[in-house]
């Protein structure tokens, strides 16, 4: 049945007077089409941005370190205490020195990457998905739904961020998952707002109406027209906040409500080291650097990605 209809349509298509028939067109004679190679074009544009590639390389190294941390160094090594060698600076044996309990800081940073990246990226990813759905709905539908969603996010935004996170963690109990949930909920209104405004700039565009006039369904409009055109500010917001999230997670740990010692988390390491900041500054320097480099590489990558996704900025 459907085949029949397909054929009818096909027949209709070719009966146009004064037009070269489809069979006479030789596809080899014309420029290759971008069909399916959109990703390749984006990748090419991304590679043209040197800084973005640097960001990608640094971030890949950090990510691989986090994934294969156990292969480089056994987890026990990061927890091994030795009072005899506490608060030492860099040496051939302990590359980045040792902390107040004589634990190797380099090993702790390697294993800490797991927890820090997980909290940072996890909170951002879940926050963007949930905030994205809410914000896109609000922007797309408008009206009463928009008002309800936006007033709820406004209410959440009124509560100081840290207070909200602490209240949530206190209510849910201290664990990595709960910290993630708390951070995600606290970030949600911001993402919902950013995404709503990004959608609003696009949703009234003529090309959306043009697509509707061809009979496009709503999901096609969202995925082919709204998201590609609204994705810029969202990517920037996401990459900028991963670093922030890591620091917030550290803050929660610092207040004793997040990741519990002796788990080697970058933020927790920072707060443990802050008591010795005047005597042995390397205790905070190295985990701090780890956070900064991660956030920096993500920012570079995000900037490059945003530009690469926009064909208008091609050259």
Partner 1 sequence: MMGDALIKTVDLKKFFRVKGGILHAVDGINLEIPKGKTLGVVGESGCGKSTLGRTIIRLLDATSGSVFFDGQDVMQAKGKEMEEMRRQMQIIFQDPFSCLNPRMPVYKLIAEPLEIHRVYRHSADLSKRVIQLMDTVGLARRFLNSYPHEMDGGRRQRVGIARALALNPQFIVCDEPVSALDVSVQAQILNLLMDLQSAMGLTYMFITHDLLVVRHIADEIAVMYLGQCIERAPAKQLFREPLHPYTKALLSAIPIPDLGQRRKPVMLHGEVSDPIDPKPGCRFARRCSQCTEKCTQQDYPLREVSPGHFVACQRYQ
Please report, as ranges, the residues that interact with partner 1 according to CB under 8 A. 6, 9-10, 12-13, 16-20, 22-23, 25, 27, 30-35, 205-207, 209-217, 220, 224-225, 228-229, 309-312, 314
Residue placing its CB nearer to partner 1 in the complex, 164 or 308: 308
CA distance linking residue 102 with residue 206, whole number of Å: 64
Residue 12 Cβ, how far from partner 1 at the closest point, in Å? 6
Which token pair is 263? 């788990």
Residue placing its CB nearer to partner 1 in the complex, 32 or 173: 32
Write down the H helix ranges in the chain.
2-14, 38-48, 50-67, 69-72, 75-79, 105-141, 143-158, 161-172, 176-203, 206-213, 218-220, 227-254, 266-273, 282-309
Would you say the C-alpha torsion 14, 20, 24, 29 has a positive or negative sign?
negative
Residue placing its CB nearer to partner 1 in the complex, 70 or 142: 142
Could you tell me which residues are beta bridge partners of residue 98?
104
Residue 226 Cβ, how far from partner 1 at the closest point, in Å? 10
Q: Can you spell out the DSSP letters for 275-292? A: GGTTT-THHHHHHHHHHH
Dihedral, CA of residue 261, residue 264, residue 94 and residue 103, to nearest 10: 10
| Closest CA relative to residue 218, chosen from 199, 198, 239 | 199
Dihedral, CA of residue 182, residue 184, residue 187 and residue 191, to nearest 10: -160
Residue 210 Cβ, how far from partner 1 at the closest point, in Å? 5
Residue 299 Cβ, how far from partner 1 at the closest point, in Å? 23
Residue 200 Cβ, how far from partner 1 at the closest point, in Å? 16
Residue placing its CB nearer to partner 1 in the complex, 21 or 278: 21
Residue placing its CB nearer to partner 1 in the complex, 102 or 228: 228
Residue placing its CB nearer to partner 1 in the complex, 229 or 239: 229
Which residue's entry shows tokens 């085949």? 3
Residue 25 Cβ, how far from partner 1 at the closest point, in Å? 4
Residue placing its CB nearer to partner 1 in the complex, 144 or 158: 144
């Amino acid at each position: 049945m459907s085949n029949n209809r397909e054929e009818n349509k096909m027949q209709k298509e070719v009966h146009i007077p004064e037009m070269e028939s489809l069979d006479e067109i030789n596809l080899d004679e014309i420029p290759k089409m971008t069909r399916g190679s959109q990703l390749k074009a984006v990748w090419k544009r991304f590679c043209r941005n040197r800084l973005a590639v640097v960001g990608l390389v640094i971030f890949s190294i950090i990510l691989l370190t986090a994934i294969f941390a156990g292969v480089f160094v056994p987890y026990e090594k990061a927890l091994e205490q030795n009072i005899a060698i506490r608060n030492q600076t860099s040496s051939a044996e302990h590359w980045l020195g040792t902390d107040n309990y004589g634990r190797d800081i380099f090993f702790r940073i390697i294993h800490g990457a797991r927890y820090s990246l997980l909290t940072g990226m996890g909170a951002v990813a879940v926050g963007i998905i949930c905030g994205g759905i809410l914000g896109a709905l609000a922007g797309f539908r408008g009206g009463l739904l928009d008002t309800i969603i936006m007033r709820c996010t406004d209410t959440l935004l009124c509560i100081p961020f840290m207070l909200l996170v602490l209240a949530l963690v206190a209510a849910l109990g201290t664990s990595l998952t709960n910290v993630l949930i708390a951070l995600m909920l606290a970030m949600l209104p911001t993402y919902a707002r950013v995404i709503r405004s990004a959608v609003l700039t696009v949703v009234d565009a003529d090309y959306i109406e043009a697509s509707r006039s061809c009979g496009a369904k709503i999901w096609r409009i969202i995925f082919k027209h709204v998201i590609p055109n609204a994705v810029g500010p969202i990517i920037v917001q996401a990459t900028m906040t991963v670093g922030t999230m890591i620091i917030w997670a550290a803050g929660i740990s610092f207040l004793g409500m997040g990741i519990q010692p002796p788990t080697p988390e970058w933020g927790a390491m920072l707060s443990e080291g802050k008591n010795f900041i005047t005597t042995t500054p390397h205790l905070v320097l190295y985990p701090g650097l780890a956070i900064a480099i991660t956030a920096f590489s993500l920012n570079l990558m995000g900037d490059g990605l945003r530009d690469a996704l926009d064909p208008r900025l091609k050259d």
